[in-house]
Each structure stands twice: as structure tokens, then as C-alpha cells.
Amino acid sequence: MTKDYKGYKSYQYLEKGKDYKYFELSKEKERVKPYEIELNQEQNEIFKEIVSKNLIINLHEHPTVIPKDLTKLHEYEKQGREVTGFEALSESIIDVIFDNMMDGTCIIHSKAGWKFEDVIHDIGIRTCDIDHQNFLIKGEGVKDFYEAKKHNKIAWVKVLESSTMIENEIERIEILYGLGVRMMGITYSESNNLGSGLKEKRDGGLTSFGEQAVKRMNKVGMAIDVSHCGDRTALDVIEKSADPIFISHIGARNLWNIKRLKPDKVFRACADKKGVIGIEAAPHTTVTKNNPYHNLDAYMEHFEYIKDLVGIDHLAFGPDTLFGDHVGLHDLFSSNMSIDEQTSKHKRVDYVEGLENPAEGMTNILKWLIKNNYSKQEISKVMGGNILRVLKEVWI
């Protein structure tokens, strides 16, 4: 499965310690005990065939490495120079990865984050790093996905989880598209000029400016995500968008009653407009009464619930993981990420077993599907086919 990787490390074109501050980073591989799903010979052959013949697409991820010492995390993020886990990714089955950049940790110049200057800084620095290596290629169109697969590389898609930084400047959507952003959320957890975030006690829905922004994103060919929107705002976006939309990283509130997850009516509305729903694994989100400790089985329970609700043609996977202590990161950035009011409602884990990082997650998901007797056709759809269907309609 190893990709065409030449050993590049982030920012090696600079002198660490001189041109930028160096931090000791978390392990990209085996930070915790590896999770093993054993397949028999026949199942292994199916695994190899699926990986060989299909585009494996990770719909929502943060393939960056955070410091080993989390007391250094704020300082690391304020430098605005996140490190990509190239080596671990090179050993994964992923062909396409949707990289959501700094999202709620985008605090380079502001404690609150999501400033336009910060977002542009993040995009520029990360793109410069990507341009200096050989095996991640820019994924700005579906053709780039096939090109990456053909040459044993990974297509890297730039994504932003919120439109907060466009403020009231509609043309910023085009600027961000021109800089390579191909999917954008309407809100993060807090409200903005476009609509209400899931954190709010009252959801006012999509604003008139939000409607303009949705129309502009449709015209430009930028995919829309509503994962962090309030329920009313998400439903309004689905209604107003001329194109299918994504809920790129989410779970079912009917299985675990927290605001971070979505109700059935939002999933049905998304599917009715031919959209796609990606299941997330950020710590302490997709747990269930059957599996109160967050792990792969809890995660897949959410997948199967939503699949039974809306059909397999509308499901995908957006694990929302990173390289390092994700639980610790949430503890430090809880106010930025609007997750503080959820922390008392789950049984705490140190990490999500089976979905520890971007490299291992998709492998374990695929093995789980094979072991649970999903057909090759069904697996092809959820591992990337459904995403491709929507992108071929949305992207120019």
C-alpha cells in the first residue's frame, strides 16, 4: 500500500530552529497500541481488490502532527506552521484526503480565530510546504483524484470548516476558491454573518447574506458543508442550495443526544437533495448507549443507523482525526471548538480505539465493512463513490 514517497519532512527547505521554531512532535505511527482487525485469506483478497480498483476518499480530516508536549500547543498553533504527517499518510490506503486546515485552532493573530488574515496565512504556508514535496498533489478537480491514484500518490483537497472569515465580503468566496479551497462550511459552532452555529441556544437559520453566499458557492463550484451548523440553518442551506451538499463529519443525535450531532430530519433532507453524509470520529462524539466508550464499533453503529435511515447511496466517512493527542487538544481548545458543554455527557477515553489517526482509520473502516459482509458495490460507494457522484455535479 506504500505510496510514492521520497522521505520529505515538512519545511525541510528551511533551517529548523533558525527560520522557524521547532517543536518535538507526537509520533505519526504507533503513538498508542495498534488496532488490529484480522481478515481471513478470502477477506484479504477482497480488501486488496477494493483498494486497487476504487478511489479511497477521506471526506474530512486534519492530517497534521501536533506537539508531544501539549503545553506547547498554543505556541505551536500561533506560529501558523502546522506539520503534515507525510510518512504515515504514505503507508495508508487513502487516495484522496480532504484537509480542513487549522479550523478552530486558527489563532495565529487572534485568540478568537477565524480571521481572514489567519486563514490566508494558513493556506499559503501549508501550500508552500506541499509544493516542496512529491507525493501529495493538489486535488482541485476530480481528474486530480484519478491522476493521484494512477501515480501512487494522494490528492490533497483544501477545505475550510467555516465561512466566518468572509465577514460580509461575498467576493472572498472567489478569492478562497482561487487559492484552492474546494469545500467550505457555512458556520463553525458559533454563529456568523451567514447563519447560526450548533452552539447557539436559538437557531435563527440562514441569513439573507447566507443565502447570497450559498448561491455564490454554487456558481463558483465550491462544495458546501453544514456539519457545524445549527439544525435550522442546515435545513435552510439544503433548501437554498441548487447543488447537493455535504455533512462531512457527523453522527446521529438519535443515538447520542448532544448538539454536536444531527437529528434524523437533517439527514433525510440532505439525502432528498442527493447529498452525502460523512461519519466522524472526533473524540467523544459518535458514541452510543450500546458503546459509551468511543471506539470503532460505536462509530460504525452511527454509520449503520444513518445508512438504514437514508440509504447507502448517501454515506461516506469523514473521521476528523489528527496525529497526536486529540483528546488533549480538545481539552485545551474547548472554548474555540465549542465543545465544552458536551464534556460531561460521555465516558472519557484517552483516544478513539481503531480511529486514532488519519492513516489507520480508513483501513480499519474498510476491514470492518468486509468482516460485516458488505458487498463490494456497497463498499465502493461509501469508501468514495458517493463523494465522487456529488463532486462531479458540484465542481466545475
Predicted local confidence at residue 341, as pLDDT: 45
What is the grid cell recorded at 333?
481548545
DSSP of 107-163: -SS-SS---HHHHHHHHHHHHHHHHTSSSEEE--SHHHHHHHHHTT-EEEEEEES--
β-pairing, 64-65 with 83-84?
antiparallel
Predicted local confidence at residue 337, as pLDDT: 57
β-pairing, 181-185 with 154-160?
parallel
Predicted local confidence at residue 334, as pLDDT: 76
* Per-residue pLDDT tens listing for the chain (396 residues): 579 999 999 999 999 999 999 999 999 999 999 999 999 999 999 999 999 999 999 999 999 999 999 999 999 999 999 999 999 999 999 999 999 999 989 999 998 899 999 999 999 999 999 999 999 999 999 999 999 999 999 999 999 999 999 999 999 999 999 999 999 999 999 999 999 999 999 999 999 999 999 999 999 999 999 999 999 999 999 999 999 999 999 999 999 999 999 999 999 999 999 999 999 999 999 999 999 999 999 999 999 999 999 999 999 999 999 999 999 999 888 755 555 444 446 689 999 999 999 999 999 999 999 999 999 999 999 999 999 999 999 998
List domains and CATH numbers for the chain: 55-394 (3.20.20.140)
DSSP of 175-217: HHHHTTEEEEES--SS--SS--BTT-SS-----HHHHHHHHHH
Q: Which residue has the cell 470492518?
A: 368
Question: Is residue 356 within 8 Å of residue 88, measured between CB atoms?
Answer: no
Three-class SS of residue 233? helix
- Give me the helices (H) in the chain, please: 41-53, 73-79, 86-90, 116-131, 142-150, 172-178, 208-220, 231-240, 264-272, 296-310, 326-332, 334-337, 358-371, 376-380, 386-394
Question: Is residue 24 within 8 Å of residue 16, measured between CB atoms?
Answer: no
CB-neighbour burial class of residue 173 (10 A; exposed 0-12, middle 13-18, buried 19+): buried
- Tell me how many degrees the CA angle 217-218-219 measures, rounded to the nearest 5: 90
- Chain centroid, CA 387 distance in Å: 13
Q: 239 - beta bridge partners?
A: none
Return the closest-CA partner of residue 25 out of 385, 391, 357.
Answer: 357
Predicted local confidence at residue 216, as pLDDT: 98
Q: Which residue has the cell 460505536?
A: 298
Predicted local confidence at residue 203, as pLDDT: 97
364 CB neighbour count, 10 Å cutoff: 21
Whether the model clears a pTM of 0.75, i.e. scores above it, the answer is: yes
